[in-house]
Amino acid sequence: MQAITRRLGQHSLRPTPSIPSINSIYPLSDHYYGGDHPRYGSTLASHKGMGHLVRKGTGGRSSVSGIIATVFGATGFLGRYLVQQLAKMGSQALVPFRGSEDNPRHLKLMGDLGQIVPMKYDPRDENSIKAVMAKANVVINLIGREYETRNYSFEEVNHFMAEQLAVIAKEHGGIMRFIQVSCLGSSLSSPSRFLRAKAAGEEAVLKELPEATVMKPAVMIGTEDRIMNPWARFAKKYSFLPLIGDGSTKIQPVYVNDVASAIVAALKDDGTSMGKVYELGGPEIYTVHELAELMYDMIREWPRYVNVPLPIAKAVAMPREVLVKKVPFPLPNPEIFNLDQILAFANDTVVSENALTFTDLSIVPHKLKGYPVEFLIQYRKGGPQFGSTVSEKVNPDSYP
């Protein structure tokens, strides 16, 4: 623990003697770590003494599921879908946020009054992490970032923070389930530092909490995604899309809501998903080029690509990597030319043969074509009904 907090630049926590590890959520312990401690200023009502997990209602938004989940990283893309699913079954979601009060504002409406509790915290201050976990019986870690900033390295965000959450959850003593969201393709031998840090994060969490569940989603698609949106923006702005390499890398994109459903399914099971690692890929494998075709089809533009060889793509992305920690001001976040992602996308990333998948959680993932990519109609020039699909289109170059 000392090592982790030192790496996070903070003072160490005093270890608690004889810490029980996490258990199945059935039955729920009535001990909450420091729930009544004045230092932990949670606004939640105390459930002390309620004994077993109390469930009430028909399972809808106004029911009580008994799950009180601290969702780290809930202000991000996956977070909103997960909080919505938790809230609609009557769970309480504690939403730690840094920065502005506006960051978690959209989440508050997802649940009944008082069910979504935004709590300001500092990811580098373990007391504030304890405060947001104090009343929880479930911890879900969605924290992650696929590029470095001046303040945060890949390792700190994707590895050390996960490790610290696991250590604190273990010390808490009342956390029944810990879900770590990692990334498909994470490996200690990956050429991408992000994927290496993700793999180290998984390992660290499982070392602390062998009963934790690890979810490894493939690249996620949805309204706020960070693949189809940047592609569509780029294609609209410059009338072409750079295809790094020749676009033949295989990926298995997954609809974001399915990943949220998988996490909820794991929470709701009888403990069978505890200590397991799930690889969450969509039902179809695409090449990067095929996925770009789907994007063009949705935005109703004629596809134009510029193949960018790997060394040139790396050269374009390199200056940010070199300068990010050196200049005294923040640099723009990389979208298409993110060096680490270029390295990650150099290899195929699909679900491995013997992995546990959606099927093991009784979920049938959605095909991308259709509703999951419908958000792209916002990029059609002339409005959502404009134009025709690529398959119906005539090549404009063939006009006289």
Ligand X SMILES: NC(=O)c1ccc[n+]([C@@H]2O[C@H](COP(=O)([O-])OP(=O)(O)OC[C@H]3O[C@@H](n4cnc5c(N)ncnc54)[C@H](OP(=O)(O)O)[C@@H]3O)[C@@H](O)[C@H]2O)c1
Binding site for ligand X (CB under 6 A): 73, 75-79, 98-99, 103, 123, 142-145, 152, 157, 181, 183, 217, 219-220, 226
Nearest Cα residue to 93 out of 34, 8, 157, 179? 179
Shortest Å, Cβ 135 to ligand X: 20
Shortest Å, Cβ 243 to ligand X: 19
Give the residue with the Cβ less far from ligand X, 241 or 259: 259
Shortest Å, Cβ 388 to ligand X: 29
288-299 and 228-238 helices cross at what angle (nearest 10)? Answer: 60
Give the residue with the Cβ less far from ligand X, 53 or 167: 167
Q: Could you tell me the two tokens for 361?
A: 């959680």
Shortest Å, Cβ 222 to ligand X: 9
Q: Among all chains, which residue has been given the structure tokens 């991408």?
A: 192
SS3 state at 366 = coil
Shortest Å, Cβ 142 to ligand X: 4
Helices marked H in the chain — which ranges? 2-7, 77-88, 105-108, 126-133, 154-155, 161-172, 193-208, 228-238, 256-268, 288-299, 310-323, 339-344
Q: Could you tell me the two tokens for 268?
A: 């709701």
Give the residue with the Cβ less far from ligand X, 28 or 165: 165
Give the residue with the Cβ less far from ligand X, 49 or 99: 99
Q: What residue type is 181 in one-letter code?
A: V
Distance, CA of 208 to CA of 56 (rounded, Å) = 33
Cα distances from 363 to residues 89, 281, 282, in angstroms, run: 17, 12, 11
Distance, CA of 68 to CA of 136 (rounded, Å) = 5
Sign of the CA dihedral with 204 first, then 205, 211, and 213 last: negative
Give the residue with the Cβ less far from ligand X, 152 or 375: 152
Give the residue with the Cβ less far from ligand X, 233 or 393: 233
80 with 107: CB under 8 angstroms?
Answer: yes
φ/ψ (deg, to 5) at 152: -130, 130
The DSSP call for residue 309 is -
Q: Which residue is nearest to ligand X (CB)?
A: 76
Distance, CA of 102 to CA of 135 (rounded, Å) = 23
Give the residue with the Cβ less far from ligand X, 202 or 301: 202
Cα distances from 219 to residues 161, 289, 368, in angstroms, run: 21, 15, 12
Quick one: 281 exposed, middle or buried, by C-beta within 10 A (0-12, 13-18, 19+)? buried
Give the residue with the Cβ less far from ligand X, 120 or 380: 120
Give the residue with the Cβ less far from ligand X, 188 or 315: 188
Give the residue with the Cβ less far from ligand X, 56 or 98: 98
The DSSP call for residue 361 is G
Q: Could you tell me which residues come within 8 angstroms of residue 24 by beta carbon, excluding any fewer than 6 positions away?
A: 176, 177, 270, 271, 274
Give the residue with the Cβ less far from ligand X, 148 or 211: 148
Nearest Cα residue to 138 out of 173, 177, 86, 168? 177
Shortest Å, Cβ 353 to ligand X: 20
Distance, CA of 392 to CA of 302 (rounded, Å) = 11
Strand 286-287 with 250-251, pairing: antiparallel
Distance, CA of 288 to CA of 93 (rounded, Å) = 36
Shortest Å, Cβ 232 to ligand X: 15
Shortest Å, Cβ 60 to ligand X: 25
